[in-house]
Structure 1
Amino acid sequence: MNKKESPNHLLPHYYTNLIEAGCDEAGRGCLAGSVYAAAVILPPDYDNPALNDSKKLSEKRRRELRDQIVRDAVAWAVGIVTPEEIDRINILKASFLAMHRALDQLKVRPQAIIVDGNRFTPYQDLPYTTIVKGDGKYQSIAAASILAKTFRDEYMDSIAEEWPFYDWKRNKGYPTRAHREGIQKHGTSPYHRMSYNLLGSTQLEMKFED
């Protein structure tokens, strides 16, 4: 299926005449914390030009849009996979599991799924399509991106109160210099992903985004 992206805003739907859930995750590249994923079903005639990839929006704008999504969506849910589970099954499988857990919680069963990225583990018997940079192309994926990002950021802010050594309120668990220096000085927390290369091979600060 070939669809041309609107020059002004994201396309409302990928599938026609099907109840479609968009899925995306947040926190895959982090050294610490759970990975979050969201699933969102938008109304058939829904079109919100403000929706976009969460990484292209300010924190304030993401929160405003989250309120709109929660209010307007036919159904939405957030799935979580813990650091212990990530270490056990690997982050790729954990990201798909988080999406499945979000889909499990939807109050309306979708008939099709669209997922940000190029890989996905099938969910039940539903047809699905993976879309590279889908959070910048389709509104339901963008909405899922915003929910996953905002709920995960709030979670990281809350555990930063307990573990203030790693600058999580700023880096949200991503591998910044301050985060790695905190690990070097204070050791790891119960929230760190022990299967990751926590100290890295260089002292260069890494860009923190999914």
Structure 2
Amino acid sequence: MTLPSFDLETALRDRGHLRIAGVDEVGRGPLAGPVVAAAVILNPDDIPEGLNDSKKLTAKRRQALDKALREWAEIAIGEASVAEIDEHNILRASHIAMIRAVEALNPAPDYLLIDGNMIPRGLKIPSRAVVKGDAQSLSIAAASIIAKNWRDQVMVDLAQQHPGYGWDANAGYPTKQHREALQNLGVTPHHRRSFKPVHNILYQE
């Protein structure tokens, strides 16, 4: 398994950029809950070992890396709400979350490495979009871990308010349990009404 590296960041540092933030979001696919982004500036002298795309790590490993990152790196979180997802669309909402995460870093970064193939409109900082960035850049991988842990915890908290949907286990993704609960228990305020499975239940004939 090839791990992400610090090569992109090192090249940027050689060009004079010192505050390079990796940016990633999590939660585009779920039927419920917010979309969450994180922005992380790693300290080149103290990079936690084992950083990788959050999807390739166990929950226990993600928790340990999350703790290490909070100690050694600069991190910020941004969210876009279910209402914003329904108002704009999931892509724009995920970009709004990314912008909020970047703006929450203080002092501001001087360069952004953004996971994906698009740079969110409205960002004023020099940026590069990196396709499959969480598998290439340690800063983006770090952001993916922080964003995923944060969002998973949000969904665990929401699961206590709305039992039956399995959000503590499925994080709002459309598992069999979640889809059956939608049919049997109905739609909660935390469901994305613009998403087809939810929309279809609300507007069944």
Q: TM-score, normalised by structure 2?
A: 0.89
**2:6 partner letter:** P
> 2:165 & 2:81 partners in 1: Cα distance?
18
Instruction: Please list every run of at least 4 consecutive aligned residues from structure 1 whose deviation after the TM superposition is greater than 4 angstroms.
Output: none
**1:11 partner letter:** S
Matched, 1:9 2:12: no
> 2:132 & 2:49 partners in 1: Cα distance?
17
Residue of structure 2 equivalent to 1:120: 119
> 2:137 & 2:149 partners in 1: Cα distance?
18
What secondary structure is seen at the aligned counterpart in 2 of 1:102? helix
Give the Å deviation of 1:109. 1.1
The answer to whether the 8 A contact 1:8-1:49 is kept is no
Give the Å deviation of 1:21. 0.5
CA deviations 1:61-90 (Å, max 9, x no partner) are 0000000111111x2100011101110011
Residue of structure 2 equivalent to 1:142: 141
What secondary structure is seen at the aligned counterpart in 2 of 1:118? coil
Residue of structure 1 equivalent to 2:54: 54
Give the Å deviation of 1:108. 2.2
Residue of structure 2 equivalent to 1:204: none
RMSD: 1.7
> 1:27 & 1:87 partners in 2: Cα distance?
14
Higher helix share: 2
Identity %, equivalent residues: 44
The answer to whether the 8 A contact 1:9-1:49 is kept is no
Residue of structure 1 equivalent to 2:182: 183
> 1:103 & 1:150 partners in 2: Cα distance?
18
Matched, 1:155 2:149: no
Q: Please list, as runs of the form range in 1=range in 2, the aligned pairs for 1:1-210 lying within 5 A after superposition.
A: 9-14=3-8, 15-16=12-13, 17-18=16-17, 19-73=19-73, 75-198=74-197
> 2:87 & 2:125 partners in 1: Cα distance?
27
Unaligned stretches of 5+ residues in structure 2: 201-205
The answer to whether the 8 A contact 1:10-1:49 is kept is no
CA deviations 1:119-156 (Å, max 9, x no partner) are 12145431111111110111110000000000000000
Q: TM-score, normalised by structure 1?
A: 0.87
